[in-house]
Amino acid sequence: MKLAAVDIRQAASAADIVYDALRKAIVEGDLAEGENLRQDQIAQMFNTSRIPVREALSRLEQHGLITTERYKGAVVAGLSIEEIDEIFEFRALVEAEVIRLAVPNLDHDTLAAARGYCEEFGQETDSARWGEINRRFHYSLYAASQRPYYLQIVRTSLDRIDRYLRAQLTLTNGMMRAKREHEAILAACLNRDAGLASRLTRDHVLDAGRSLVAFLKDQRA
Amino acid sequence: MKLAAVDIRQAASAADIVYDALRKAIVEGDLAEGENLRQDQIAQMFNTSRIPVREALSRLEQHGLITTERYKGAVVAGLSIEEIDEIFEFRALVEAEVIRLAVPNLDHDTLAAARGYCEEFGQETDSARWGEINRRFHYSLYAASQRPYYLQIVRTSLDRIDRYLRAQLTLTNGMMRAKREHEAILAACLNRDAGLASRLTRDHVLDAGRSLVAFLKDQRA
DNA sequence: CCATTGTATATTGGATCCAATATTTCTATC
DNA sequence: GATAGAAATATTGGATCCAATATACAATGG
């Protein structure tokens, strides 16, 4: 007897589903900073009990995406200007290193994919999608570094500030500058110039951070 | 009426207590790699139910300290040589930067404390304490960087590999080399030479990583 | 009318119970 | 004695219930 290979994917637990959904909603900015997250309410939304919800919230708290207080509940975490600044500084350090490690491993398909995202970013008219395409562009290159631990850290760092970044990209048209910088990074990768790609990535992240901090300072004043 | 101020510290939840205790046990190597962690058994040890235990295990899994499988349970996570190597490489990058940022902020008290840990490390005869003192020495300096996010990342990175490092320090007398390197780092800090302190820290971490990887390759062969 | 106190409600953390499934042990058969 | 199948056991994930406490609001007294 011959059976077709079936992708029996282990059904994710309810806690995993809730975690993924809430993480996505927070990272993409669908849940506003300071918004209350009631266990009961979330449990009803997912047709489950509060137990898996609590587990999901506990994980989110570990990653700094929410804060919880006993008898009061969870709220989407807000970051101070200083915290945002620090995370950008950190990202610049790590992502510059990741791209430096990635460049020697970039193959044709990876570069083609990155070029695709780069162009898609420039042509996309729906500003809500810029953040997502931006992520894909960078990650498509970073993946070649073959450093899963670095990438996990980069992901959690980006998670913390992505919703601010998306708002800034949309509201200030910082997207035009990002587009030019992406093209420069991609060109350096195509030339196999790891040092240049690294420096450009560092500056790209720091620039984005500076723009965002300026934007937020203005907005919060 | 005059009352003395009382430090009513918020009692930690059971989940927090279990999490801290298990984390400590894993990081310090009291729980061996691959060891089974049964929810029921842990719950009994802490005189609580499985609910807070599950929450603690879920958090530990997020940090990569354990892996869980449905109907099978949790086991203390083991790391491959490649994973250990990557974490040391990452630590070298981040800790070198942290110390560079810390040096300009080092004040007299901090340096005195670091010197104290440095000497304590050299004089301690109980090898089980070397890992702890090593941590304290580095952290006492790192704290001056005033980068809480960096430090949180450093902590989770060190958590992953600390038990291997402690075993290696103890079994191969790599402690002597560590002692010399600590003294050099401390001297650079006293001289306010941020660049040198950074390079020495980088080399210190990479050296430790190389020694450990060599040790583990031998041990696992 | 305002401040204070008591009560009702909302909400979390934890305990106990139930369902699902992996593993182990036992039994019957060859 | 070895092996296949069935039953028992172990173990997790989730649902429901209970205890503790913060908040909101009404009642009361000045």
What are φ and ψ of residue B175, in 5° steps?
-60, -35
Q: Range of B94's domain?
A: 81-220
Residue type, A117: Y
Residue of B55, B89, B148 with shortest CB distance to A58: B55
Q: Is A149 on the interface with B (CB under 8 A)?
A: yes
Q: Do residue A54 and residue A87 come from a single domain?
A: no
- Give the tens place of pLDDT for each residue, A13-48: 999 999 999 999 999 999 999 899 999 999 999 999
User: Do A149 and B87 count as a contact with CB atoms less than 8 A apart?
Assistant: yes
Backbone angles phi, psi at A203, to 5 degrees: -65, -35
A86 & A184 share domain: yes
Alpha-carbon distance of B73 to B56, in angstroms, equals: 13
Nearest residue to B220 (alpha-carbon basis) of B26, B30, B34: B34
Q: Are B149 and A83 in contact (CB under 8 A)?
A: yes
Half-sphere exposure for B14 (CA within 13 Å, toward CB) = 14
Residue B87 in this model has a pLDDT that exceeds 50: yes
Task: Kindly report, residue by residue over A139-186, the tens digit of the pLDDT.
Answer: 999 999 999 999 999 999 999 999 999 888 887 778 889 999 999 999
- Is residue B166 a contact partner of residue B28, using CB atoms and an 8 Å limit? yes
Residues A179 and A212 in one domain: yes
Residue B98 belongs to some domain of the structure: yes
* Residue B1 within a domain: no
Res B219: pLDDT: 86
In the prediction, which pLDDT does B191 show?
A: 96
Contact flag, residue A73 CB and nucleic strand C, below 7 A:
yes
- Do A107 and A21 share a structural domain? no
Choose the weakest-confidence range: A158-172, B5-19, B106-120, B131-145.
Answer: B5-19
Name which of A90, A85, A18, A91 is nearest A58 in CA terms. Answer: A18
A49 in a structural domain: yes
User: Cβ of A68 under 8 Å from any chain B Cβ?
Assistant: no
* Residue of B22 and A9 predicted with greater confidence: B22
Please provide the DSSP assignment of A125-149 as one string. Answer: --GGGHHHHHHHHHHHHHGGG--HH
Q: Do A58 and B63 touch (CB under 8 A)?
A: no
DSSP, res B66: E
CA distance B160 to B90: 12
Question: Gap from B71 CA to C25 C1', in Å?
Answer: 19
Decide if A54 and B55 are in contact by the 8 Å CB cutoff.
yes
Looking at the C1' of nucleotide C20, which residue has the nearest alpha carbon? B71
Could you tell me what percentage of chain B is helix, strand and coil, using 3-state DSSP and rounding each to the nearest 5?
Answer: 75, 5, 20
Q: Is A93 on the interface with B (CB under 8 A)?
A: yes
Check B59 against A59: CB less than 8 A apart: yes
Same domain, A129 and A68: no
